[in-house]
Amino acid sequence: MKKFALLVLLFCFSFANVDSIVIKSASALDRFMAIPEEQIPPKLLRQAKAIAIIPDLIRGGFIAGARYGKGVLLIRTQDGWSDPIFIKLYGASIGWQIGLESIDVVLIFTDMASVQKLLNGTLTLAADASLAVGPVGRAASVGTDFSAQILSYSRSMGAYVGVALAGAKLEVDFDKMAQAYRCDPTKIYLILQGKCRHNNQYVQILKDKINRYSAWHE
């Protein structure tokens, strides 16, 4: 039953093109930053080693749940944010579920070790890298686990929610990488070095949004 639920979700995302993923990621980031009391603290955006955005993560199924979504990972380099590495998040979800729910997810990577694990293969959240729910609000600090390698944020139907992502898996989506880049999609270092680019207005809009939100003062 879990395999069936996951196959349904895979079908839902099979026709998403790379530009639509970037556009939806930029819109999702806007939603996270729209309400001061619930936004990702700009300080964390400034300190992030990488940012993953998975818009419209689908969670649910019939009795046995699953979750699946496609998104982007932008990595901080010496020259600013990299072009997007296309990724996918998937895994079974716990509990008795009927129906589907769409969730926006942002993951803030606080160290490069967890980023490298993702680029080298499959990263299991809370197993291969420590995971904590991120603080919200411009001045958020109290009770935050800043030692976590990944801070997670999630929104559903416009409201901030604390979706449990432990056990979910992150992987590079090489099919989407091949669609976006004309170089070998497995040679991600070429993208990080700026030698293989996905130049279009949507990528630049997403980068500009991250830079603008990072510059906000608490």
pLDDT at 101: 72
Half-sphere exposure in the Cβ direction for 138 (13 Å, CA): 10
pLDDT tens-digit map of 4-36: 444 444 444 455 799 999 999 999 999 999 988
Residue 214's pLDDT is: 94
Q: How many CA atoms lie within 13 A of 11 on its CB side?
A: 6
Q: Give the residue extent of every domain in the chain.
A: 2-213
The CA dihedral of 215, 50, 8, 185, to the nearest 10 degrees, is: 120
Q: Model-level pTM?
A: 0.86
Two tokens at 10?
């895979």
* Position 141 confidence tier, pLDDT thresholds 50, 70, 90: low
Q: Given this model, what pLDDT does residue 6 score?
A: 44
